[in-house]
Amino acid sequence: MAFGAVMAMAVVALPAPRVTAQRPVELTEAQRREILDDTLERAPRAPASPDDPFNVVHQHELERDEAALERLNAARFLEAANVQAFNASLAQNKSQRVFEEETRRRAEAQKELERERKRLSDLTVRAFVSGGTVGVEEYRAYVSGDTTDIEGGRQLMFSQVLDRQQTVTDQAERALAKARASYDQAKSVLTLTTAFATDRQQNAVRMGLVAQTAADRHEKAIVEVAAAKDRLRAAGRRGVGLVPESIALIGIPRLNAEDLAGWFRRQPYRPRTSTPVEDFARWFIEEGQAEGIRGDVAFAQAVLETGGFANDDTVYANNFSGIGHCDTCASGWRFPSPQMGVRAQIQLLKSYALASPRYVYPKVDARLRGPAGCCPTWGDLTTVWATAPDYGPKVMMIYTDIVAYALARRAAGQGLDDPRPPIPMG
């Protein structure tokens, strides 16, 4: 018969007025994660337990997954850094070519100015020596003037030649100034692009080192997961001791849904619910992961309370742990669905474990509150969650049997890669 049907609750068995609930505020993923982390940090120190090897594998898997994400991000950063370095190098090469062209132009402008200045100087000297009387034919190539008056023509053409040469020289000076400005600008751009290219190349080298470190860490984590699984297989070949009652209610489940459902299918239980046990197993793991409560042990508690999901509370109330079912009560509290019944159990366990619990999900029922912080361990539930003096040991006996089944699976090489549902944040 259902063990929980004759058990009395401590505080939660007392009826309490319902509170008109307002629509709960939806928490963000970050807020839910913060609540979970805070819950796990408040767990009491855990004693050694036969299910520890499962947790070791899980922890190494988390480290492996974190390392894989870090490796992926590092590879992306390295790729971006290499692209930046390549583009910076292209910009540097372009500015180098521009600088070289401006250097050439500046040099040509300098030579041109020197030529024109020399011509102007030569003309000035000749004007001074000859007094302006030079051959008409010598200057006819430069200007066109009136040569009917030979002497007057000489003076006119010489004056025009001097003016023209001065203009040409001035133009050459302006061209040189412009070439020098373009050269200075090209030099400045080259300096900047060279500095940027050097910085991006150094950054690419740094990202390469980061990526290599991340890859090494990931490879090491993969090896550690394999080693932890080997130790788990070895543990399954040894005898299984009783899981101590002093393990905490708070914690991430160590077994997975396949372990719970597979064990249940091998038992003589005759569940009366149409919900497959696989769904119950999955809900206990997922709800436990979300709130930071050992959902795998809570599954064993539910099996004890309901006689294998076969009592009336299971069928008519979606109540799997005797919540509100006192010794003289006809039934326990009703919950709207099987999953909400599982969630209610997890939330009530959390209220027993912590003096001031915060919940990831809105409370299924406002009355779900226990003697706050009374029971940090499963053994502490004895005579508090239920009146039976051996309540805690019976829960642990069922859970130990599940652990033995799960260890046997691992020893046979089964279940090592069973999916572990992610902590639900939605």
Which tens digit of pLDDT belongs to each residue from 280-320?
999 999 999 999 999 999 999 999 999 999 999 999 999 99
- 194-205 pLDDT, tens digit per residue, is 999 999 999 999
Q: Where residue 210 sits, what CATH number does that domain have?
A: 1.10.287
End-of-domain residue from the set 224, 255, 272: 224
Higher pLDDT, 55 or 328: 55
d(CA 60, CA 72): 18
In a domain, 237, yes or no: no
pTM for this prediction: 0.72
**What are the C-alpha distances in Å from 80 to residues 83, 152, 203, 207?**
5, 77, 10, 9
In a domain, 322, yes or no: yes
In a domain, 65, yes or no: no
* Residues 249, 219 share a domain: no
- 217-269 pLDDT, tens digit per residue, is 999 999 999 999 999 999 988 888 999 999 999 999 999 999 999 999 999 99
* Residues 220, 248 share a domain: no
* Residues 120, 210 share a domain: yes
- Tokens 């319902």, located at residue: 18
d(CA 344, CA 338): 10
Phi, psi of 60 (to 5 degrees): -70, -35
Burial 82-113 (b: 16+ CB within 10 A, else e): bebbeebbebbeebeebbeebeebbeebeebb
* Residues 85, 34 share a domain: no
* Residues 214, 94 share a domain: yes
Asked if residue 19 has pLDDT above 50, the reply is: no
In a domain, 422, yes or no: no
* Residues 154, 101 share a domain: yes
* Residues 386, 273 share a domain: yes
d(CA 421, CA 398): 23
| pLDDT of the residue at 138 | 55
Asked if residue 13 has pLDDT above 60, the reply is: no
- 22-79 pLDDT, tens digit per residue, is 566 788 999 999 999 999 999 999 899 999 999 999 899 989 999 999 999 999 999 9
What average pLDDT score do residues 73-93 get?
Answer: 96
Structural domains in the chain (count): 2
Dihedral (Cα; 407, 411, 414, 420), 10-degree rounding:
40
3-state SS class at 379: helix
* Residues 9, 101 share a domain: no
End-of-domain residue from the set 191, 224, 257: 224
- Using 50, 70 and 90 to split pLDDT, how confident is the model at 2? very low
- Using 50, 70 and 90 to split pLDDT, how confident is the model at 327? low
Asked if residue 215 has pLDDT above 70, the reply is: yes
DSSP for 42-66, please give it: TPPPPPP-TTHHHHHHHHHHHHHHH
In a domain, 367, yes or no: yes
| pLDDT of the residue at 16 | 40
Domain limits for position 216:
74-224
In a domain, 229, yes or no: no
Max intra-chain CA distance, the chain: 145
Q: What is the mean pLDDT of the chain?
A: 87
DSSP for 184-242, please give it: HHHHHHHHHHHHHHHHHHHHHHHHHHHHHHHHHHHHHHHHHHHHHHHHHHHHHTS--PP
| pLDDT of the residue at 161 | 72
281, 260 contact by CB (below 8 A): yes
Phi, psi of 180 (to 5 degrees): -65, -40
* Residues 213, 87 share a domain: yes
- 105-130 pLDDT, tens digit per residue, is 999 989 988 888 887 777 777 666 66
- Using 50, 70 and 90 to split pLDDT, how confident is the model at 7? very low
398, 404 contact by CB (below 8 A): no
* Residues 381, 277 share a domain: yes
* Residues 401, 296 share a domain: yes
In a domain, 64, yes or no: no
In a domain, 330, yes or no: yes
* Residues 204, 141 share a domain: yes
End-of-domain residue from the set 156, 191, 224: 224
Those residues with Cβ within 8 angstroms of residue 302's Cβ, 6 or more apart along the chain or in another chain: 280, 284, 309, 320, 321, 342, 345
